[in-house]
Chain A
């Protein structure tokens, strides 16, 4: 375990090495938040609520959504396909390491970096620049837990695509497809409330909503109460366990077809 924590620390340090990346990600976030602010302002115009959501609730959801989006992008799929194509994966496999945990903890190191830059800056920008009042409630308290679970679900998807690189080497097309599917079906772009009723019901049965919809709802509507939030966390937990187990099984298959040419 100490080994994985050491690697997480290493990955976090790499984030700090690239100082300008840090500054630009905050600047980029500010621009994105401004655009979505005016976009949703014009959608709401003078209306108080849309589909049961006030402007503030929607805006918190969407703005925080983009911050969480950056946080939950693990890039594990890109990294793994690069490592497999370049043969770097041979180096990890000659170490007494579990590949899944190795990928998880290095990506967590980068995520921690994103958390301290983008997610925190979004909260600060929401409060001090856009003067949005973030409502207090138990949801806010549960948000960090939900975020960790969301991260693990997102990781499993990326790790799964990364494992496909053992077969295909390049995962460019697969990654893009996965990204589009998750962005739309998870409620990252638009809250699930804005989907037609039937589709929304189906989506709640799929793992995608565990990535964005669940944690974001906890901040946007923090007063829904324990009886709403606990099942939501339970469903997240279920998906984490299921997807971890499935990707582990898949790894055992994928690693068999590995071939590393040259060097």
Chain B
């Protein structure tokens, strides 16, 4: 039996229609003018033990709402939702014992106290016995160097350190499933990489199921075999990451700022690139903003470094940026039928 079973799940919110200005605010005091927002509009999926599932989508897609229903905080409006065969909302306290949750933008640690105190409190909350506690604390120490932070007040930790502590804490009681909601938000690349590897090792340690919501496609690429894309409360794609990978994984966009840019430059650039790399090279050139040229490269066919060194040697390039394809682009491509 699957660990999480979701069938036609919906969640509606009633939201007061606010009016503008001070006068509007006063009138709102007595307003009964509500509209219904469908945050989750009928989704279905199953998650098996030990999976790491990327649950992604743009802002306001319904990711967090789904997580909050799975953790038993929010009551679904309709549909079936079972974790371990139980309905989370009706068995919140029992269910919580088998779950770990990290909300990237909030901490579960005690802000004013040294790090170790939060772990001690969590130990009591989850009734973790001393043996398991010691074993896990040693493991966290190996993974993230936790011991060095024991006596530090949580509020004085850097965002990356805090996140590593938060993630560790959510694994303390050896939960069956851990929900990681935006665990890499606001972190720089090296810290992100660290967090990803820690998540991976924690998943392996006890075959913990992990549900990861994120904005960062890099997280998903590094961690998940399966990906669920949600937008406007509906599932757009649920399946192997490899197919989605074709959409964004191999593509990088090289943004170039070329000296003395004219219409002709764009043409010569296109010609020279196809001359150098031949047909079927998977390179497209487009002018975007004032004097910036986007060269999108399919790395499966042409290495980015080759293109970059070729362009640098042939043109007077003032500035270069390399960007990954964005979440919004992926969602747009899926809408356009890229995965059909």
Contacts and interface: CB of A to CB of B under 8 A. Distances in A.
Contact of A260 (B73, B92, B113, B123): B73
Interface in A209-263: 256, 258-260, 262-263
A97 B93 contact: yes
B120 A91 contact: no
Contacts of A97: 93, 96, 125
A90 B121 contact: no
B73 A3 contact: no
Nearest to B118: A10
A258 B74 CA distance: 7
A93 interface: yes
A90 B110 contact: no
Contact of B121 (A7, A96, A262): A7
A90 B106 contact: yes
A86 B110 CA distance: 16
Interface string A86-120: 11101101111110000000000000000000000
Contact of B127 (A3, A87, A94, A258): A3
Given A263-B106, A263-B182, A93 B112 contact: no
A199 interface: no
Nearest to A87: B106
B71 interface: yes
A2 interface: yes
B96 A90 contact: no
B125 A96 contact: yes
Interface string B123-134: 111110000000
A127 interface: no
Contacts of B117: 10, 13
A136 interface: no
A2 B236 CA distance: 46
A184 interface: no
Given A13-B117, A86-B106, A262-B64, A256 B75 contact: yes
Contacts of A94: 71-73, 96, 99, 101
A17 interface: yes
| Interface residue tally on B, bucketed by range | 35 or more
Nearest to B75: A256
B30 to A, nearest CB: 14
Contacts of A27: none
Contact of B93 (A14, A91, A96, A259): A96
Nearest to B121: A6
Interface string A58-91: 0000000000000000000000000000111011
A6 B108 contact: no
A97 B110 CA distance: 16
B108 A263 contact: no
B125 A91 contact: no
Nearest to B15: A259
Interface in B33-59: none
B31 to A, nearest CB: 14
B213 to A, nearest CB: 10
A14 B112 contact: yes
Contacts of A93: 71-73, 92, 96
A93 B132 CA distance: 24
B292 interface: no
A3 B13 contact: no
Interface in B190-225: none
Contact of B113 (A14, A86, A95): A14
Interface string B102-118: 01111110101100010
B340 interface: no
Contacts of B123: 6
Contact of A96 (B13, B75, B94): B94
B108 A91 contact: yes
B151 interface: no
**5 A-B pairs with least C-beta separation:** A6-B124, A96-B96, A3-B124, A94-B101, A263-B105
8 contacts: A3-B127, A7-B124, A14-B113, A90-B103, A90-B106, A93-B73, A263-B105, A263-B182
Interface of A: 2-3, 5-7, 10, 13-14, 17-18, 86-88, 90-91, 93-98, 256, 258-260, 262-263
